[in-house]
Amino acid sequence: MKADIIARNLSKTFNNGLTTLKNLNFEITEGDFVSLVGPSGCGKSTLLRLIAKLEMPSEGSLQVYHDQIAFVFQDAHLLPWRNVFENISLPLELQKISPAEKKSLTEQALEKIGLKDFASAYPAQLSGGMKMRVSLARALVTQPKLLLMDEPFAALDEVSRASLEEDLRKLWLEKKMTIVFVTHSISEACFLTNRALVLSSRPGQIVLDKKISLPENRKLEITLSPEFSKTAREILEVLSANTQQDMAAQL
């Protein structure tokens, strides 16, 4: 397996002196589905922005062997003056893809994500779950090799969230693109991804690198299996140990 992302002694300190990530070493192989789990403020999002080259590392190196990258934010962040179709085709438009190809790729993405009947709706007319679907379709329309997701389902209700998670897992099984998925939810990490990188509180360091050995095809029922709880418990123990430690140090 080829490495897709390689971090060596990666640290990030912002101009205001805040160190959010300290001395990270990891590799992510091509086609892997990895979650970054950690308490809020531990630098998960910063790491994602570093991978997307929206920030630069302060120390160490971070190599990313793709430039076809897509990013999904915590909220949908659609352009309110464009309808669903025009929102999804935006990345193609910015990359100056020909109109014919733009149309066919956008239609494919609409179909894939179950939005075919909403092509001409405006974001203001959609529910939170639907907006997130549009956002996901916008990310997939360029057929990225690397998909970065920053707590994309955190603001959704339980039902929309579960259905989007199932769809995302299916999509990944089909396309096998590399996905890095930031979340603070342990069960989401276990259900969705194949490997969890657990970060400590700030400054974030990797405290656990856990392979999630669940079947490839996952239904929601899997969350009730003993194997699932065992994995979740292990992550939880490491996570709470490293969060408490930090709080004790602050006192």
Q: Which residues bind other proteins (CB under 8 A)?
A: 49, 52, 54, 69-71, 73, 75, 77, 79-81, 83, 90-91, 93-95, 122-124, 142
And the tokens for 91? 């990345």
Q: What minimum distance in Å lies between the beta carbon of 55 and other proteins?
A: 10
Q: What minimum distance in Å lies between the beta carbon of 98 and other proteins?
A: 16
Q: What minimum distance in Å lies between the beta carbon of 217 and other proteins?
A: 31
Residue with Cβ nearer other proteins (49 or 184): 49
Residue with Cβ nearer other proteins (29 or 142): 142
> What secondary structure letter does DSSP report for 17?
S
Beta-carbon contacts of residue 132 (< 8 Å; ≥ 6 apart) = 76, 152, 153, 156, 160, 164
Q: What minimum distance in Å lies between the beta carbon of 68 and other proteins?
A: 10
Q: What minimum distance in Å lies between the beta carbon of 44 and other proteins?
A: 16
Cβ-in-10-Å burial (0-12, 13-18, 19+) of 43 comes to: buried
Residue with Cβ nearer other proteins (28 or 146): 146
C-alpha distances in Å from residue 50, one per residue of 5, 14, 100, 127, 203: 11, 12, 34, 31, 15
Q: Please check whether residue 193 is in contact with residue 180, taking contact to mean a CB–CB distance below 8 angstroms.
A: no
User: Starting from the edge strand earliest in sequence, which strands make up the sheet with 19-29, in order?
Assistant: 19-29, 3-13, 59-64
CA separation for the pair 26, 60 (Å, rounded): 12
> Could you tell me how many residues make up the chain?
251
Q: What minimum distance in Å lies between the beta carbon of 150 and other proteins?
A: 9
And the tokens for 56? 């630069």
Residue with Cβ nearer other proteins (72 or 239): 72
Residue with Cβ nearer other proteins (71 or 181): 71
Residue with Cβ nearer other proteins (90 or 214): 90
